[in-house]
Every structure is written in C-alpha cells, then in structure tokens.
C-alpha cells in the first residue's frame, strides 16, 4: 500500500459519496417504529486526513426518530469513520498495514505522516490481531476467501486480496467490509 492514498483527493470524494449513500438508505428506511427520521449528525474531529477537509468531514451521519414516544437514534454504517476512533478509518487501515513487520524507527516515521503515536499504532495492530478476527463481521467474511486470508498479517493480507489492479479500489473494498463494525444501530436503516 502506498502513502499517496493518504492525500488522494479522489479517495476522499469516494468515501464521502459512499457514506452519503449509506445515510440516504438509512433515512429512506425510516425508524423501526415506522417513524420518520430527522438529521441528528454527530460532530467529529477527524484526525489523520488532509488539512483541507470540508465541513462534511466534521460530521458523522446520524438520525433521530421524529415520533415523541420513540426518538430512537439510527446511525448508518460508514467508510469514513471506523466506529468511535478519532482517526479516519482508512488511516487506521493503511498505517496498520504499513507497520506490519517494521522496526520501531520505521513505525515512528509512518506515525509522523499523520501525527499518530507509536503507541496508537501498536494498539491498532493489536486490534487487527486480537479483536477483529473474533468479530462477527470477520467470521462471516473470511469464508469468501480461498485460500484463506492470513489473519496474522491483517490488514495487509486482506488489502492484498482486494488490491489486484487498483490500490484505491482495494482500500474501498476493505472499508466496505469493515462498515458493519462502524455502528451499533439496530434499526432497519443500517445496512
């Protein structure tokens, strides 16, 4: 994986477009109670991205039911944000892949690309090695790969499967695979 993806303007556009689609689908589905959903975006201060991110990158799509008796929140999946992590999802994926098997010095150099500590990079690697392989998302997805994806090399081994012709498209495919991990909403609106 290449560092140039960290500054790829087209990647940012595609991520915003995909998230807008997730949000439109969630809103169109309405609340599980049958109520209409109103916008209730979460403020975010995303780290690791370009300096010129627009205002849409400072908000996470979310909705709240308009019915007084319900008011249930629906937060659609995202390819921009990886759950509650403050760093952008693709930054977590890319830097985790780039730090696989590198020295502490090289990890520090990579961390300096987006101002992330070596400690945080280590925590991300631990998540890929210990938590992600136990997730329901991975348990369902791993059956699609023949031969099996090497879990000790995640996310690099996963990116390698999707990055046959184009790094950007491969990264988008991995982020779409991870999207169910980005929300805890139980409504029909979450894809």
The total number of structural domains in the chain stands at 1
- 52 inside domain: yes
Instruction: Give 95-127 pLDDT, tens digit per residue.
Output: 999 998 888 888 888 888 899 999 999 999 999
**Whether residue 147 has a cis bond before it, omega within 30° of 0:** yes
Pair of tokens at residue 167: 């790094």
**Whether residue 155 has a cis bond before it, omega within 30° of 0:** yes
Which neighbouring-strand residues pair with 39?
Answer: 63
- 191 inside domain: no
Does 186 score more than 50 pLDDT? Answer: no
pTM over cut 0.85: yes
Range of the domain at 18: 3-182
Which neighbouring-strand residues pair with 87?
Answer: 47
Instruction: Give 52-89 pLDDT, tens digit per residue.
Output: 888 889 999 999 999 989 989 999 999 999 988 999 99
**Whether residue 31 has a cis bond before it, omega within 30° of 0:** no
State the Cα–Cα distance between residues 179 and 191, nearest whole angstrom.
9
Contacts of 46 (CB under 8 A, 6+ apart): 53, 57, 58, 80, 81, 86, 87, 88
Helix (H) or strand (E) segment spanning residue 74: strand 73-74
- 187 inside domain: no
- 89 inside domain: yes
Which neighbouring-strand residues pair with 73?
Answer: 64
Pair of tokens at residue 112: 């300096």
- 190 inside domain: no
172 backbone dihedrals φ, ψ, rounded to 5°: -60, -40
- 48 inside domain: yes
């Amino acid at each position: 994986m290449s560092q140039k993806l960290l500054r790829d303007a087209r990647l940012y556009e595609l991520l915003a477009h995909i998230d807008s689609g997730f949000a439109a689908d969630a809103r169109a589905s309405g609340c599980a109670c049958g109520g209409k959903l109103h916008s209730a975006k979460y403020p975010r201060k995303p780290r690791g991205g370009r300096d010129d991110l627009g205002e849409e990158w400072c908000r996470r799509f979310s909705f709240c039911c308009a019915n007084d008796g319900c008011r249930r929140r629906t937060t659609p999946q995202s390819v921009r944000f990886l759950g509650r992590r403050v760093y952008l999802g693709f930054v977590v994926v890319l830097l985790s892949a780039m730090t696989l098997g590198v020295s502490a010095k090289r990890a520090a150099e990579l961390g300096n690309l987006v101002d992330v500590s070596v400690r945080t990079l280590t925590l991300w690697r631990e998540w890929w090695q210990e938590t992600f392989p136990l997730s329901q998302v991975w348990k369902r997805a791993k059956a699609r790969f023949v031969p099996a994806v090497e879990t000790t090399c995640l996310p690099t081994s996963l990116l390698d499967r999707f990055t046959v012709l184009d790094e950007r498209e491969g990264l988008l495919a991995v982020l779409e695979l991870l999207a169910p991990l980005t929300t805890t909403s139980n409504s029909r609106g979450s894809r």
